[in-house]
Amino acid sequence: MSVFFLRRILTLVATLVAASLIIFLVLDALPGNAAQMLMGADASPDAVRALTVKLGLDQPLAVRYLLWLKGMAVGDLGNSYVYGTPVAGLIAERLVLTIPLAIMSMLITVVLALAAGIYTAANHNKLGDVGVMSLTQVGIALPNFWFAILLILLFSVKLQLLSAGGFAGWDDGIWPGIRSLLLPSISLAVVQAAILARVTRSAVLEVLREDFVRTARAKGLGKREVLWRHVLRNAMIPVMTVMGLQFANLLAGTIVIENVFYLPGLGRLIFQSIANRDLIVVRNCVMLLAAMVVIVNFVVDVLYAFIDPRIKVANL
């Protein structure tokens, strides 16, 4: 087991170093420079040159890359070109929103998807199945930003129950924060839940056709008991895989929803930083996301082993 972990960690570090090199080179190839971007079109050229030197952008490529690696090793990510404040602080401020948002959407997704998936599989080809499945088709086809606007129109503009956007933060307790993330997480969850429901349904249906299910039924177990005790556990592997992908996606891929609800999340930080050529922020964010995806995959792997002990044996 420890050999397995050591090997995994070495692979992880190697992956991250390779990722850092690719991220750095790709971002460096982008046309446009941060100093000119910050100073704008009408600034004195002399002022732009002074800023280039101040930001350290006049140094050679290799030097800047090595300085970055060194910074990451000692936990100093440098200062944002735009805000002038530490990048680590900026990212931390965004994670306070992004991680709870991802978790809330994931919870809503899982509850809706498992309920719908299991219900439809259990009622295969009946009216309820057809009805719910056509709803999931609609859910997948719905652009989430459009659905978000509908939610805003209903809850904020019409009923004036929830604010149309913004993030209340966690300073005044947990409730205002959760409330401001409610509409965004629902908008995000609808599409994800529709996808996951379909995956769950087909996974459950597939397991239902297995021999052991017939055996279980033959030895006298009730339909419900077979479903909950034997089928679900076996059907969870593909569901977990998709959930892992969805969670990783929710950490960075929520930029459109962040814009609709003007939430200061990680996605928007990356987007704004690319537009501002605040590349020091971009590369650290992308690096963080790469690390998170690797970690989420790792967690999913561990969960596989938990669901199906045979996987652990195979890995050893």
Partner 1 sequence: MLRKLCVIAAAAALVAAPLPSLAQGKKDSVVMGMTLEPPGLDPTNAAAAAIAEVTLYNVYETLTKINEDGSVSPLLAESWRASADLKTYTFKLRKGVKFHNGEPFDSAAVKFSFDRAAAPTSTNKDKSLYQAFASVTAPDPETVVVALKYSEPNLPFLLGQASGSIVEPKSAPTDATQPVGTGPYTLGSWAKGSSITLVKWPDYRNAAAIKLAKVTIRFIGDPAAQVAALLSGDVDAFPRVGAARSLAQFKADPRFSVLIGGSKAKTIVGINERKKPLDDVRVRRAILAAIDRKAMIDGAVDGFGTPIGSFYTPGSVGYVDTTGINPYDPELAKKLLAEAGVKTPLELSLRLPPPAYARQGGEILAAQLAKVGIIAKIENVEWAQWLSQVFTGPHNYDLTIVSHVEPFDLVKLTEPDYYLGYKSEAFNALYQQIMATPDEAGRAKLLGDAQRMLATDAVAGFLFQPQWITIASKKLKGVWKEVPQFENDFSAWSWE
DSSP 79: B
Verify binding: residue 136, partner 1, rule CB under 8 A.
yes
Q: Does 182 bind partner 1 (CB under 8 A)?
A: yes
CB of 236 to partner 1, least distance (A): 21
Angle between helices 61-74 and 279-307 (to 10 degrees): 50
247 contributes a contact to partner 1 by CB under 8 A: no
Using CB under 8 A as the binding rule, whether residue 126 contacts partner 1 is answered as: no
> Smallest gap, in angstroms, from Cβ of residue 89 to partner 1?
8
CB contact set of 201 (below 8 Å; sequence gap of 6+)? 116, 117, 118, 120, 121, 129, 133
Is residue 160 near partner 1 by the rule CB under 8 A? yes
Phi, psi for residue 50 in degrees, rounded to 5: -60, -40
Stretch that binds partner 1, among 242-250, 267-275, 286-294, 300-308 (CB under 8 A): 267-275
Angstrom distances, CA of residue 26 to CA of 13, 19, 115, 282:
20, 11, 43, 11
Size of the site for partner 1 (CB under 8 A): 77
Beta carbon nearer to partner 1, 97 or 213? 97
Binding flag, residue 261, partner 1 (CB under 8 A): yes
- Smallest separation (angstroms) from partner 1 to the CB of 59: 17
- Binding segment for partner 1 (CB under 8 A), chosen from 58-66, 161-169, 227-235, 246-254, is 161-169
Among candidate residues 166, 150, 169, the one with its CA nearest the CA of residue 158:
150
Contacts 24+ apart (CB under 8 A), 4-8: 4/315, 4/316, 8/298
Establish if 130 lies at the interface with partner 1 (CB under 8 A).
no
Shortest Å, Cβ 159 to partner 1? 9
186 binds partner 1 (CB under 8 A): yes
Asked if 41 interacts with partner 1 (CB under 8 A), we say yes
Residue 248, φ and ψ in degrees, nearest 5: -60, -40
Q: Any contact of residue 176 with partner 1 (CB under 8 A)?
A: yes
Q: What is the DSSP letter of 78?
A: -
Using the rule CB under 8 A, is 83 a contact of partner 1? yes
Write out the binding residues for partner 1, residues 273-302 only, by CB under 8 A: 275-277
The least distance separating partner 1 from the CB of residue 184, rounded to whole angstroms, comes to 11
Asked if residue 13 binds partner 1 (CB under 8 A), the reply is: no
242 binds partner 1 (CB under 8 A): no
**118: Cα separation from own chain's centroid:** 25
Distance of CA 137 to the CA centre of its chain: 22
Q: Does 141 bind partner 1 (CB under 8 A)?
A: no
Q: Which of 9, 30, 61, 130 binds partner 1 (CB under 8 A)?
A: 30
Does 174 participate in binding partner 1 (rule CB under 8 A)? no
* The only residue of 94, 198, 201, 230 in contact with partner 1, by rule CB under 8 A: 94
Which residue blocks in the chain are alpha helix, DSSP H? 2-29, 34-39, 45-54, 61-74, 87-122, 127-141, 144-152, 174-208, 211-218, 223-226, 232-252, 255-260, 266-276, 279-307, 309-315
Closest CA to 303 of 245, 236, 229: 236
66 binds partner 1 (CB under 8 A): no
241 binds partner 1 (CB under 8 A): no
